[in-house]
Every structure is written in C-alpha cells, then in structure tokens.
Amino acid sequence: MKKVEAVAQFRQMWKEAVAWNPSLKNDTVARRCEFNDYVDYLQKDGHITEYQAYNWSNPF
C-alpha cells in the first residue's frame, strides 16, 4: 500500500467518525493521534512495511 492510498482511506474513515461524533470536526490532536494509530494498525496487520510505518510523516 502506498501512503496516498492510506491517507485517502483514513480521510474517508475520519469523515465517517465526524459524522457520528461532530465534536471531532476541528480536533486536530485527535485526528493526528488517530492517523498514527491507523498507520500502526496497517503495519501490524501486514499492509505496510515497518520501514513505511516509521518513515511516513503525519499529513494532519
């Protein structure tokens, strides 16, 4: 998986999370933390390599 794909998937998931909990809309800290957790999940589940997980910067 490439970073562009991961970010696109995360943006869609975050959009759904905000729909369920509107207070998350402008919560930058929560979004950054959730993206880090998402990258960690991708690495642990074998979708990305350890190198990718440690070298991708957080776009949020």
What does each of the 60 residues of the chain score in pLDDT, given as a tens digit? 999 999 999 999 999 999 999 999 999 999 999 999 999 999 999 999 999 999 999 999
State residue 58's pLDDT score.
96
Q: Which domain holds residue 21?
A: 3-55
Is-contact 3 56, C-beta < 8 A? yes
Domain assignment present for residue 60? The answer is no
State residue 10's pLDDT score.
98
What total number of domains does the chain contain?
1
Instruction: For residue 53, give every residue at least 6 positions away whose Cβ sits within 8 Å of its Cβ, in sequence order, or none.
Output: 39, 40, 42, 43
State residue 46's pLDDT score.
98
